[in-house]
Chain A
Amino acid sequence: MATEVSTDTVEEKIFDGLVELGTDRSALSREATLESIDVDSLDLVELAQIVEDEFGVELRGDDVKDVRTVGEVIELVVAKAG
């Protein structure tokens, strides 16, 4: 059973996921750019796996190629789920 999708639940999961991937939690915010927290294409694929496991939302490389900030990743997942 996938977790209910809301901006808050997605944010929590993505923040947790990024910390798991090695990002410092204190550097995390919705405004933080992926570049500033050293998140690259490999991280995004891992993050997509976490999101899919949790929310049943599938993200492909094309979906995230123009994403610039953590907030945009969150919005993308919420939009895809809706």
Chain B
Amino acid sequence: MSRRVVITGVGAVTPLGIGSDPLIERWSGGESGIADGAGRCREFDPLDFLAKKEARRLDRFAQMAIAAAEEALGQAGAGDGLPYEGHRVGCVIGTGIGGLPSLEEQQRKLIESGPKAVSPLAVPLMMGNAAAAAVAMRHDLHGHTYGVVSACAAGAHALGDAARIIRAGDADMVVAGGAEAAITGVATAAFAAMEATSPSGISRPFDARRDGFVMGEGAGVLILEEADAAAARGAEMLGEIRGYGATCDGFHLTAPQPEGLEAARAISLAIADAGLSATDVDYVNAHGTSTPLNDRSETMALKLALGERAADVPVSSTKSAIGHLLGAAGAVEAIATVEALRRRLAPPTLGWEEAEEGLDLDYVPDGARPLENGDGPLVAISNSFGFGGHNAVLCLAA
């Protein structure tokens, strides 16, 4: 009997607030966390979670990961100590960019005051594995621990890899997710220079008027656990990672393959890995960036992978409410997906009004809608695609 991977805790820091409940409840209620063209976590204060000394040793993305992990571990009943020996607990946290605010700050010091002014904390602040390292250090985790770097697919890759680590028997629990805080001068200018971000500052995925993504920041952390072990200790199971599919376009540094061929393959692989078929999918949490290219190729990928089911499965994008959290997106959206399934509700794609030819799926434009499939668990796929052509798809059930 193969090992199954369940979710026993979730934690989120997002532009909709601190916690996974505000994320799902405010999004489902039609609220957006985007203001002035960016999805900032305005309610986040690192000193709510960290001593001053700890806080100044972590970049914002890692601070947010600490906060998300705190919530998730608490929910899993592991906040005051692990239910397993530390070597059986891993930590895999993705990021797209890492500690960019720290890098920019140290670069400024270098230019203004010379090399001696550069902080000895610079490297640990900006390294992409800092979030995983900090969470592991705080909670005495000694299993597989590393960062994942695959641009906007990093959060989903982290969860998929973490599930594989548990399935392979290398861990009984993995603290997994993604974190990003890169709304900085350089990143904002760079994404604008490549015309990836929205000049209007509006995130409206799949709408004909969409003109790019809106930058967001935040973190999502999930506690993944081997199902029998979780059951044995009486943990509440919020959901399950049923399947995982990962492919690469091998096509272009930034643009998705236009027909979504490899994205479709990743979706199909995730569904097959779950032992399910396209007709079993009750909800799709889309990558849905609000860029002209992604939303078109993703729509094509869904049609290719889901066949006839694509025409009537509800598809919505969390990014319509919080913007694009880059390397945190896949993790935060996996949380949103599981919580949506638990509430048996498909949250809406906010701002969707105008259809575009060929973009004709059910994008849930008119508010949250009940998901119905008898009394059994609901099944969803959560898509994440990153620059570099990385495609990571999770098949989730709850």
- Name A residues whose Cβ lies closer than 8 Å to a Cβ of B: 21-23, 38, 42, 45-46, 49, 52
Residue from A23, A38, A49 with most neighbouring chain B CB atoms (10 Å): A49
Residue contact A46 to B119, C-beta cutoff 8 Å: yes
- Mostly helix, strand, loop or mixed at chain A's interface? helix
Chain B 90-129 per-residue mask, 1 if CB under 8 angstroms from chain A, else 0? 0000000000000000000000000011011100100000
Residue contact B52 to A22, C-beta cutoff 8 Å: yes
Chain B 34-64 per-residue mask, 1 if CB under 8 angstroms from chain A, else 0? 0000000000000000011111110000000
12 inter-chain pairs at a CB distance below 8 angstroms, sorted by A residue, are: A21-B53, A22-B52, A22-B53, A22-B56, A23-B53, A38-B53, A42-B120, A42-B124, A46-B119, A49-B116, A49-B117, A49-B120
- Name B residues whose Cβ lies closer than 8 Å to a Cβ of A: 51-57, 116-117, 119-121, 124
A-B contact count (CB 8 A): 23
Min CB gap B181→A, angstroms: 20
- Mostly helix, strand, loop or mixed at chain B's interface? helix
Residues of A close to B119: CB separation below 8 A: 46, 49
Residue contact B116 to A52, C-beta cutoff 8 Å: yes
Residues of A close to B57: CB separation below 8 A: 42
A46 to B125, CA, bound (A): 14
Residues of B close to A49: CB separation below 8 A: 116-117, 119-120
Residues of B close to A45: CB separation below 8 A: 120
A23 to B117, CA, bound (A): 21
Residues of A close to B53: CB separation below 8 A: 21-23, 38
A35 to B51, CA, bound (A): 17
Residues of A close to B51: CB separation below 8 A: 22
